[in-house]
Amino acid sequence: MIRRIVLTLSGPVVSVLLALLVTTLFLSLSGYSAASAYEVMWNYGIEPASLVSALNNAVPLYIAGIAAAFALRMGLFNIGIDGQYRVAALAGAVAAAQLPFDLAVRLPLSLLVGSVAGALWALVPALLKVYRGVNEVITSILMNAIATTVVAILLANVFRAGGGQDTGTAIIDENGAMPVLVDLGIGNRTAITGFLVVAIVLGVLFYLIQYRTVFGFTLQVAARSPDAAESAGIKVKHRIIWAMLGSGAIAGLIGMPHVLGTAHRFDGTLPIDLMFTGLAAALLGRMHPIGMAFGAFLLAFVERSSQVLGLVQLPTEVGSVFMAVILLSSAIGYWFTEKADQRIALWRAIRARRRMPLATDGAEAAR
């Protein structure tokens, strides 16, 4: 048990330390004091408004991490998460603005519409991989480009509500927007989004499906040995499709906190490129829902705290450098801990084998 905890924590620790080392070198070679930069970031980051902002920004990163992890458990890299949540955000925004229901019905339906749109967009790479053998990384990247074009055309010609420079969808009223969970009331932007509850529910469902069901077990078996899985009666092709559908459905909720909680419509302010940051959170947390939560909050905290550096004549690129190194080092840390786990297991098996008495020794003892 202790060994598993140490190995689980070693990956994120190695990644964070490596990111700190590279960021420190970046600051030192640029002629800045790394200690001063970290002190400024920490003091600004622990302010109540900054902590609330980091928590709210961590929610879509956490959802992106779960979406990436759902596919990774099957050995798939869903690089099309960006395109999936853009299409889903547009569909969800239109549903939230147009459905003639109260909040209790309209909000769940809007989330469902977004999830379905994301799943359908992820279905294309899944089918191409299963029936044509095309790598899902290539097709999902191409689907991102298609999503950008399709969303732009639909927004400009079909769902545009304003005129002139206004290129957003219709405004979502209070019967379609996500309510605030907690308002600290100590200044501007200190309200915790209600999507925090959605993120927690997704984390619990992810854990139950992946770690406590036969389906989750078969995903791991199919990912590690497709031939053995087929011999055991597990249909690998079906698992690939379901893994991509699940990943796309979760990805469809990434843009909803912004659409239903911040902008109250779909427009050009929707955050982009959340997929790689979410992937970093997934690798940092070793694809465990609790670990991914810490990883997402760490990345959101660094992004928020680095915003103040420009005011004190320090490079604001510190946050970008840190998160870029985290993305790279998280993969390295994950690989390192996996190899360490395998070597420890092998070493313990060898030790146990050496301690076992030979059959001839037992026969001699019987005589």
Q: All domains of the chain, ordered by start, with CATH?
A: 15-338 (1.10.3470)
pLDDT at 269: 87
DSSP 193-225: ETHHHHHHHHHHHHHHHHHHSHHHHHHHHHHH-
In angstroms, the first-to-last Cα distance of the chain is 41
Is 55 in contact with 294 (CB distance < 8 Å)? no
In whole angstroms, what is the distance from residue 329 CA to residue 271 CA?
24
325 vs 81, higher pLDDT: 81
285 burial (CB, 10 Å; 0-12 / 13-18 / 19+) is buried
Confidence of residue 309 (pLDDT cuts 50, 70, 90): confident
What integer is the mean pLDDT of 194-209?
Answer: 95
Instruction: Output the 3-class SS for 23-62.
Output: HHHHHHHCCCCHHHHHHHHHHHHCCHHHHHHHHHHHHHHH
Is 81 in contact with 278 (CB distance < 8 Å)? yes
pLDDT at 256: 95
DSSP-based three-state secondary structure for 167: coil
Percent of the chain predicted with pLDDT > 90: 43
What integer is the mean pLDDT of 251-268?
Answer: 92
DSSP-based three-state secondary structure for 182: strand
182 phi and psi, to 5 degrees?
-140, 130
Confidence of residue 81 (pLDDT cuts 50, 70, 90): very high
pLDDT at 121: 96
> For 307-338, b where at least 16 C-beta lie within 10 A, e where not — what string?
ebbeeeebbebbbebbbbbbbebbbebbebbe
Residue among 132, 30, 145, 133 at smallest CA distance from 80: 145
What integer is the mean pLDDT of 175-180?
Answer: 90
* Largest Cα span, the chain: 99
pLDDT at 365: 47
Q: Is the pLDDT of residue 295 over 60?
A: yes
Percent of the chain predicted with pLDDT > 70: 86
3-state DSSP: the chain helix, strand, coil percent, rounded to 5?
75, 0, 25
| Most confident region among 123-127, 152-156, 235-239, 349-353 by mean pLDDT | 123-127
DSSP 275-286: HHHHHHHHHHTT
Q: For the ranges 7-11, 93-97, 125-129, 142-146, which has the lowest average pLDDT?
A: 7-11
Is 37 in contact with 310 (CB distance < 8 Å)? no
Confidence of residue 182 (pLDDT cuts 50, 70, 90): confident
Q: Is the pLDDT of residue 83 over 80?
A: yes
Is 123 in contact with 131 (CB distance < 8 Å)? no
What integer is the mean pLDDT of 354-359?
Answer: 61
DSSP 98-162: H--S-HHHHHHHHHHHHHHHHHHHHHHHHHHHHHH---HHHHHHHHHHHHHHHHHHHHHHTS--S
Q: For the ranges 205-219, 237-251, 324-338, which has the lowest average pLDDT?
A: 324-338
